[in-house]
Every structure is written in C-alpha cells, then in structure tokens.
Amino acid sequence: MDTNTIRFSRKDSAQFFKTLNKRVNEYFKDNRKQKTGDWRLHLKTIVMFALFLTPYFLILTLGLPNWANLLLTIVMGIGMAGVGMNVMHDGNHGSYSSKKWINKLMGGSIYILAGNVYNWQVQHNVLHHTYTNIPDHDEDLEARRILRFSKHAKWHKHHKFQHFYSVFLYGLLTFNWAITTDFQQMYRYMKRKLTLGKLPNPLINWSTLVITKVLYVTIWIVLPMLIMDIVWWKILLGFFIMHYVA
C-alpha cells in the first residue's frame, strides 16, 4: 500500500462541487424524497436481521437434523450479507437516519458480522471513496498476489486463471475479516494516523477490537458448542459456511 499522499487538482473543483451539490439537493426536493432511509430501508433492516438471527436461534434451540442446520446456516449467510450491505453500510455512512445515535447503532452491527467500525470507515469511507479505483491507495483493489484487479498491478502467470478460481476465493473474504484482517488493518491505519473523524485513542481502539472479537467468537462458536449436542467440527464447519455464503 502506497503511503504517499495524492493531491487532486483544485481547478474548477469548487464550482463542480457547488453545481453537483445543488443538483442533488434539487433531486430530493423535486421528488419529495428524504436523504436518509425511509420505511423501505427499515423494512429491509427487519428482513435482513430476521434472516441472519432467526436461523441462529432455531439451530440452538430445536435440535434439528444436520441437513436442516446446514440449510439454516446458508440462510444466515444470506442474512449476514444483507445486514452488511443494507444496514451496516448505510449506518457507517451516516445516511441510515437523520439521528446520529441510530446511525452509530446500525453501523455498529458490523461487530456481529466480525468486523470493526474504525477499520471499515477508514478502508471504505476514507480510502475507497477518496481514492476510488486508484491502485496502491484504494484497498478494495488489493488482493496481494492472488488476484489482479488493475492493469497497474504486477502480473503473474496464475492470473490468467483467476476468472476460474476467484469465484471460490471470494467466499473467504469475511472469514479472513473475522480472523486476521482487522488486526492487520488496525495496525496499519493507526500507524498512518488515518481516521474518518477524530483519531481514536489507541488503547481504546485496540481494546474495542479485542473485546468485540472475543464476544464474536463467544456468540457464534462457543455458545453453540456449549448448548448443542453435536461434535465441535460441525459447528466450525457451519461457521465457515455462513461466512463463505456471505
């Protein structure tokens, strides 16, 4: 990741932003739409959380056969992705609601998805939206040597087959997020002093990361092992399948 600062031309940028902002505001006014989520987003929130959490409680309490648990785990993965893309994303953008505490609450749903608010806001709001599709600055283009998303990235022979194997690797994204990525990102971002707002206290930031990871593992792995009468590896397999589907 390149740490050099990119500077954008200020030529005509002020007028462009003024015109763009005016047209966006006019769109919402003319179409009588609010800039934050309405009943449709609230309905999606209920549906996605239901898809994510209801199967979890059914698995824990009903003593279902393995095939039923497998199907419910797949549904959980779909719900997990839905919460991330429809609820957490909008909350951390501050566009879910006009109330800051609701945005913070919905953005904080990332903790039960295995992520971290600080890391996500830096990677997505700061880096991705500031340096969209700029190699070595937009981390959404980073896949180490495994995948190549830009012509500026170094080409390796195995990239000629990435349209085959990328389909299978994509499912590992949130799983890696849960295990290693958050720790690596926080170290990198804190070292560079990157933040969406005020730079958080390092001790509080790291403590939040560790505590939420422990709670995450407790909810999705430890509790099922304590409550369910099935072998441990099936629970870990279900955990992996949920992430892979998401």
pLDDT reported for residue 227: 94
pLDDT score at 150: 83
Amino acid identity of 6? I
pLDDT of residue 77: 96
Share of the chain above pLDDT 90, in %: 61
**Does 111 or 132 have the greater pLDDT score?**
111
pLDDT winner (highest mean) among 174-183, 194-203, 214-223: 214-223
Q: The pTM is what?
A: 0.86
Q: Which two tokens stand for residue 158?
A: 């195995």
The answer to whether 181 and 114 have CB atoms below 8 angstroms apart is no
Residue type, 34: Q
Is the predicted pLDDT of residue 4 greater than 70, yes or no? no
Find which of 19-33, 89-103, 185-199 is predicted with most confidence, using mean pLDDT: 89-103
Give backbone dihedrals phi and psi of 149, rounded to 5 degrees, phi first: -100, -5
Question: Tokens for 26?
Answer: 């006019």
